[in-house]
């Protein structure tokens, strides 16, 4: 646990530097590889790609990104019950690095093995390294919020490095060189983590709720059984013994994640012994969850349909140098760094003026702003449908609007979960909320599957449909949120004893 005297990293605990640089390099590897995925899968055999259809490639992309968030749930459990956060972060990084190394091997048959390893390792590392940041501070330490702000700066620096380095190597030298660069980035992060792990002290060194030895043996048996089952299915698929339809699998997975979300949410609501105030707050939080799932289904087009639009229909020439298509994704983290201080100040100033929109209203505004980015793409796609290469500012404007929407919704949604969840279910509700990321990512992949390069005339309609649907959902949430503000501030009324003449 950090102390007020521990200020070796910009006034924060030295352990924050360990986590800052580990997360920076992990995000470099994750976003760098992710930027190349759809481009690699849809590239022709002559371009050394997999020559998948857009529908198949984007479905796989959605499954991969959705699974990353879903696997954070067992990843957090393993840290809490079996390994402790520090060890789970390290072994998660090792698995990620191995996944990138497998992807760097120029053998298409091992591609899915690499994806499974990266997703699994990220599920182990991502939730636990974020939790470790908070454990560096005492409950009374006022530096906590500033520490998280500094930590998230590392995330954005890492994403810029990933898009720039991996994108350049992947698109200009060779796809597997890009994946290899991601492996090197994760390796650097691991070396740095091990060399400076002493800075973390005893933070999550041991499991928070350790299992008995007998229980731990049963848990590890179950974990290895799941690993073996995944290995068998993967082997059968690679050998051609079974055929997996990526689009159908993505559809069923989206349904499964949605049912899990409703089942768990309903269980807590109906079986959690909640009072009336807690139930009203869960209704307010439900609006935030719906907005989150819809938001990410549009926002995550960045790595799929918008990535393909940048490659195929955007003029990327600057003199004689052609910008890699993946570099456009740098716009989002750059705008986040620039705009975050303004949005932090915006909510504070509104609060001082007694103007405090409900969580649902803020999320609805974020969703509508994000959707307006697709109106921009609707007009850009009309030029593309005429056979023209469009100027880069169309994509840049879209990413700007998406970033503004993200800053309105993402931090607000996380704050809503922490404030509106029943205290005894706070951890579980965060896990349930993370399912909205998974649902949104998979739906995003399925929507992007309608991007047909052979029928570009349909492209404007795709973006218009995404925009109108998201705006419609945003308006509905905004209208309901006018009432939800009272739900958010509901308090259980405690009966008060009234004096009477009765003895």
| Every domain of the chain and the residues it spans | 11-210, 245-490
Contacts of 499 (CB under 8 A, 6+ apart): none
461-484: buried (b, 16+ CB within 10 Å) or exposed (e) per residue? ebbbebbebbbebbeebbebbeeb
13: pLDDT strictly greater than 60: yes
Report pLDDT for 500.
Answer: 37
State how far Cα 247 lies from the chain centre: 21
Average pLDDT, the chain: 89
- Burial classification of residue 153, based on how many CB atoms lie within 10 Å of its CB (0-12 exposed, 13-18 middle, 19 or more buried): middle
**What kind and span of H or E run contains 322?**
strand 321-322
Report pLDDT for 423.
Answer: 81
- The percent of residues above 70 in pLDDT, for the chain, comes to 93
pLDDT-based confidence at residue 351 (cuts at 50, 70, 90)? low
428: pLDDT strictly greater than 90: no
CA torsion 254-260-266-269 (nearest 10°) is: -110
**Residue 421 CB: number of other CB atoms within 10 A?**
21
Kindly tell me the sign of the dihedral angle through the C-alpha atoms of 39, 44, 49, 53. Answer: positive
pLDDT digits (tens, 9 = 90+) for 283-315: 999 999 999 999 999 999 999 999 999 999 999
pLDDT digits (tens, 9 = 90+) for 129-156: 988 888 888 777 777 767 887 888 888 8
Cα–Cα distance for residue pair 456/386, rounded to 1 Å: 9
pLDDT digits (tens, 9 = 90+) for 33-67: 999 999 999 999 889 999 999 999 999 999 999 99
191: pLDDT strictly greater than 90: yes
Task: Answer whether 11-210 and 245-490 agree in fold.
Answer: yes
Superfamily for the 245-490 domain: MFS general substrate transporter like domains (1.20.1250.20)
Answer yes or no: are the C-beta atoms of 399 and 335 closer than 8 Å. Answer: yes
Report pLDDT for 455.
Answer: 82
Which pTM does this prediction carry? 0.89
Complete DSSP assignment for 434-448: HHHHHHHHHHHHHHH
Pick the CATH number of 11-210 from 2.60.40.10, 2.30.30.60, 3.30.420.40, 1.20.1250.20: 1.20.1250.20
**Residue 284 CB: number of other CB atoms within 10 A?**
24
Kindly tell me the sign of the dihedral angle through the C-alpha atoms of 136, 140, 145, 146. Answer: negative
6-10, 209-213, 470-474: segment of lowest average pLDDT = 6-10
498: left (phi over 0), alpha (psi -120 to 50) or beta: beta
Range 241-255 average pLDDT: 93
Higher pLDDT, 345 or 381: 381
Contacts of 72 (CB under 8 A, 6+ apart): 122, 123, 126, 127, 434
- The percent of residues above 90 in pLDDT, for the chain, comes to 63
Cα–Cα distance for residue pair 183/162, rounded to 1 Å: 11
């Amino acid at each position: 646990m950090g102390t007020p005297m521990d200020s070796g990293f910009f006034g924060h605990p030295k352990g924050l530097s360990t986590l800052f640089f580990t997360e920076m390099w992990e995000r470099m590897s994750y976003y760098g590889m992710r930027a190349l995925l759809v481009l690699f899968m849809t590239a022709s055999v002559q371009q050394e790609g997999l020559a998948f259809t857009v529908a198949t490639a984007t479905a796989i992309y959605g499954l991969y990104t959705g699974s990353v968030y879903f696997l954070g749930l067992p990843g957090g459990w393993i840290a809490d019950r079996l390994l402790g956060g520090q060890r789970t972060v390290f072994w998660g990084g090792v698995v990620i690095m191995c996944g990138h190394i497998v992807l760097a091997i120029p053998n298409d048959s091992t591609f899915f093995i690499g994806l499974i390893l990266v997703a699994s390792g990220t599920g182990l590392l991502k939730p636990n390294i974020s939790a470790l940041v908070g454990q560096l501070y005492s409950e009374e330490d006022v530096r906590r919020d500033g520490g998280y702000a500094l930590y998230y700066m590392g995330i954005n620096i890492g994403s810029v490095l990933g898009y720039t380095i991996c994108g350049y190597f992947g698109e200009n030298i060779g796809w597997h060189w890009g994946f290899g660069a991601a492996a090197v980035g994760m390796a650097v992060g691991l070396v740095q983590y091990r060399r400076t792990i002493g800075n973390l002290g005893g933070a999550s060194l041991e499991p928070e709720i350790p299992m008995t030895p007998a229980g731990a043996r049963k848990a590890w048996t179950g974990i290895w059984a799941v690993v073996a089952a995944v290995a068998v299915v993967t082997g059968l698929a690679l050998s051609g013994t079974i055929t997996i339809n990526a689009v159908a699998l993505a559809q069923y997975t989206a349904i499964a994640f949605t049912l899990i979300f409703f089942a768990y949410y309903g269980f807590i609501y109906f079986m959690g012994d909640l009072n009336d105030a807690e139930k009203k707050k869960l209704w307010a939080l439900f609006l935030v969850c719906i907005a989150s799932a819809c938001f990410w289904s549009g926002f995550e087009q960045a790595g799929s349909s918008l990535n393909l639009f940048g490659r195929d229909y955007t003029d990327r020439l600057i003199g004689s140098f052609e910008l890699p298509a993946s570099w456009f994704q740098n716009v989002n983290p750059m705008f986040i760094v620039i705009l975050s201080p303004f949005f932090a100040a915006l909510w504070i100033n509104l609060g001082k003026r007694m103007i405090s929109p409900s969580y649902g209203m803020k999320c609805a505004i974020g969703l509508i702003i994000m959707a307006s980015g697709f109106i921009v793409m609707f007009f850009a796609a009309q030029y593309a449908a005429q056979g023209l290469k469009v100027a880069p500012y169309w994509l840049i404007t879209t990413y700007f609007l998406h970033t503004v929407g993200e800053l309105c919704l993402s931090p607000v949604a996380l704050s809503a979960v922490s404030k509106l969840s029943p205290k005894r279910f706070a951890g579980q509700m965060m896990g349930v909320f993370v399912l909205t990321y998974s649902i949104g990512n998979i739906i995003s992949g399925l929507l992007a599957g309608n991007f047909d390069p052979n029928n570009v005339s349909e492209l404007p309609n795709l973006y218009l449909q995404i925009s109108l649907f998201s705006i419609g959902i945003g308006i509905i949430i905004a209208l309901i949120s006018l009432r939800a503000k009272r739900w958010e501030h509901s308090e259980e009324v405690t009966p008060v004893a009234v004096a009477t003449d009765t003895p």
